[in-house]
Amino acid sequence: MNPAVMVLLDEASRNKSAPSALDAVMGKDWAHYRAGNPSKAAVVEYMMRQQKQRKSAGAGLSFRVGRRTPQALVKMVTKGGASDVKGLRAQMDYLRKDGTVELQRSERHFGAEVDEEQQMLMETAWGMDRGKPGGADKTSHFVVSFPIGTDRDAAARAGRAWAEEMFGSGRFGDRYDYYTADHRDTQHPHTHVVVARRGLENGLWLKVSRRSELNFDVMREIQVEMAAAEGIELEASPRLARGVHDRPIPTSEFWKVKRGLKPEPEAPRHTEETMIATAATIVHFSRQMEAEKRVLVPESSRIDKLLGTLISTLRAGHEIEARSTHNQSDLKELKALSEEYVAKRTQIIESFREMDREIAEIDDPVQRVALQRRTAVLRSEAAALLPDNDELQAYRQQEEVRYHGIAEGGDEQAQKLRDEAQQRAADIAKEAGLNPDEVLARYNGPVPSAGLARQWRELEVAERIRSRSEAGQGLETPDQARQSVEEVHRQIDGVYREADGRLAELGVSLSDEQRASIGRATVSDIERGVSEQFEGKADKYTRFEPIVVHRNQVDGAGGTTANSVALAEELKSLADDREAGNLSSEQNVLADAIIRDTINKHGPAIRAALVRDDSREFKDHEVSDPASYREEADRFEQKRLDEFDGLVRRYGLEKGVSQDLNRTAENELAGDTTDGASRRGRDQEDIQQQAKRDRGGDGRGRDPRDDDGHGL
């Protein structure tokens, strides 16, 4: 039971209405954490995807929690392959265990014993090199293990059946030859399966990975199926679905104990990323179980109470005991309900696909878009019932980047501006091979969900590929088409944001929500543009490189004094260029967005840093007139603070940030009152004492800890 994970689970218990499991455990919008910690966020999201992809065999995942059955276990032996005859023979000799174990060929060869003749045939058929060591492995080595006490003969039959289903059935794109060795000399009976990696029918190389159809989750599920046929009951539910949140002990630890290198195996400690991912995944599984319960289980029934107990156990951070007190009738009912849930979710997903096919047949592009918006609402409602379906969950999240429309209202002049912008956008879409009416309809309406925006982009990619082919313009790969479509939207977005700026001069403005959403999208474009500029593509984004760099430094270092002050200086520089007319009209739109976003995101930290920062470069004894020098520094610092406050007033703030800045000012004034003097009016003795304290170890008036984040 990991204390850090327990803290996050406790946080989640207070945020049950949070839209996602990550939002719940973080106690705030996950998007804010991702923005400030992009690398860590990517790791967390990757680990969560791996956990959520795991399914239990033959039934819905969550209803298998609490079974008394052991877990399925399939391992791929690290460096267990062979590339040449010598390696293959050495491996066979080891698996024969001094002649006490018989090696059997695949069912394709009727399970014949691997004698000297068969061995030579296999060496040739499998293309094993002779006298030429090294090179890529031509075999892979798997172990299928069964629980203590399992009937040895049944385990052997299940292991063979697993090998045939995995590699001999053709279920995963090709058929592969193999041989097996049944080992019974340990507490856990297990079967070794050595597979020739080159496919027999299509020549495909055997590949096991998370992204492929053939992965370890599938292998465990098939082991459950094959074992069940032999009367061996196993389960393939993830550890986190059972509330086990300590990190697993790696195999290398057990080897160290076996070799006497350490007394006990040790599980690795949680990092920040694994801690967040672990807690969020447990919350995800509990939400999934709750959704299934809500759909299928009669309220106040025995099963309803049983599942309620399991959900509470998970959310409290406790492990669901492997040997539970559930009776067999409960388990059978859970399994039946789970299978019903799987059938219903399949029906729901297929119904949406059928809707999409019918909508695609409609000729009117505007009507198509309207119907897609309606089905997106239905998908959002269904997402509450299928919390493990990431595709549907995206329909509950707001799109941040594309399809943000133009401000409405105003007089005839405003409408003329809108019409001009719409025509320019239509021309951009048409030139790219997209239906202009359909593209404009996607922009002219409420900002879509992230799921609907993704659906539209994929439709546009397919349309561009098709239109270019019909026009004889040459084929594009899907990735090339996506880049082209993305450029279309960047251009349209630029047209609309420029029009918004001109409309604002006429008194027509976007709502606060629209402005904030468009601002985030524009900042995302700036960051992407600066990233490309680093690779040598100087363009309209080049001017924004310094502020993007300083924003990243503040994000990465946690807002230290030096970095926050540097960001404030760059904010002023960009704003001055904006006011002096040094930027193009398009750059003005970009500048407004990133200045406003920076103030909203970092405003309180910047102001606190400006108040705290001592700009003096020299000690009193290093200057001829210390008093005048201090006064000059004070004037500079006050002017710098006033300029920042002016930026805040000019660009406006989101409500929460404004409150934070007001609180910062109140705290500053309160501190001054307590001291009995203003910050700028301390007497000589107070200044000297404060300077002495501030100079600390570096003698420059700035606490050296400020620059590594530990003094804040």
HSE at residue 354, side-chain half, CA atoms within 13 A, is 6
Q: Look up tokens 């998908």; give the residue.
A: 379
Average pLDDT over residues 12-31: 67
The per-residue pLDDT for 432 is 93
Least confident of 46-60, 197-211, 251-265, 350-364: 46-60
Top-level class of domain 73-231? alpha beta
Least confident of 58-67, 322-331, 364-373, 560-569: 58-67
Report CA dihedral (587, 588, 589, 595) to the nearest 10 degrees: 100
Q: CB within 8 A of 529, min separation 6: which ones? A: 539, 540, 541, 544
What is the distance between the terminal CA atoms of the chain, rounded to a whole angstrom? Answer: 32
The per-residue pLDDT for 305 is 64
Q: CB within 8 A of 440, min separation 6: which ones? A: 422, 425, 426, 429
The two structure tokens encoding residue 22: 């990550």
The two structure tokens encoding residue 703: 């606490």
At residue 490 the predicted structure's pLDDT band, cuts being 50, 70 and 90, is: confident
Q: How many residues does the chain have?
A: 712
DSSP 375-404: HHHHHHHHHTT-TT-HHHHGGGSB--SS--
The per-residue pLDDT for 671 is 44
- Whether the per-residue pLDDT at 139 is higher than 70: the answer is yes
Q: How far is CA 502 from CA 365, 492, 496, 707, 712, in A?
A: 29, 16, 10, 42, 43
Computed over every residue of the chain, the mean pLDDT equals 74
- Whether the per-residue pLDDT at 514 is higher than 70: the answer is no
- Whether the per-residue pLDDT at 371 is higher than 60: the answer is yes
pLDDT digits (tens, 9 = 90+) for 80-97: 889 899 999 999 999 998
CB 393, CB 446: distance < 8 Å: no
Choose from 385-394, 561-570, 661-670, 701-710 the range with maximum mean pLDDT: 561-570
The two structure tokens encoding residue 196: 């020739």
The per-residue pLDDT for 467 is 93
CB 433, CB 471: distance < 8 Å: yes
Nearest to 138 by CA among 81, 209, 203, 193: 81
- Whether the per-residue pLDDT at 476 is higher than 80: the answer is yes
The two structure tokens encoding residue 383: 């997402």
pLDDT digits (tens, 9 = 90+) for 173-198: 889 999 999 999 888 899 999 999 99
Q: What is the pTM of this model?
A: 0.44
Task: List strands edge to edge, sheet with 73-76.
Answer: 73-76, 139-145, 190-196, 178-183, 103-105
The two structure tokens encoding residue 499: 């029009």
Report CA dihedral (194, 198, 200, 203) to the nearest 10 degrees: 160
Domain ranges, ordered by start, for the chain: 73-231, 542-708
The per-residue pLDDT for 466 is 92
> Rounded to an integer, what distance in angstroms lies between the CA atom of residue 125 and that of residue 131?
17
Q: CB within 8 A of 379, min separation 6: which ones? A: 352, 392, 395, 451
Least confident of 201-215, 290-304, 369-383, 522-536: 290-304
Least confident of 130-139, 516-525, 697-706: 697-706
Least confident of 57-66, 208-217, 351-360, 465-474: 57-66
The per-residue pLDDT for 703 is 36
- Whether the per-residue pLDDT at 658 is higher than 60: the answer is no
- Whether the per-residue pLDDT at 341 is higher than 70: the answer is no
3-state helix, strand, coil in the chain (%, to 5): 60, 5, 35
Higher pLDDT among residues 7 and 492, named by residue: 492
At residue 654 the predicted structure's pLDDT band, cuts being 50, 70 and 90, is: very low
Angle (nearest 5°) at CA 123 between 121 and 129? 145
pLDDT digits (tens, 9 = 90+) for 160-171: 999 999 999 888
Q: Look up tokens 């090696």; give the residue.
A: 103
Nearest to 55 by CA among 220, 247, 292: 220
Nearest to 279 by CA among 536, 643, 27: 27
Q: Where are the alpha helices (DSSP H) in 138-213?
A: 152-163
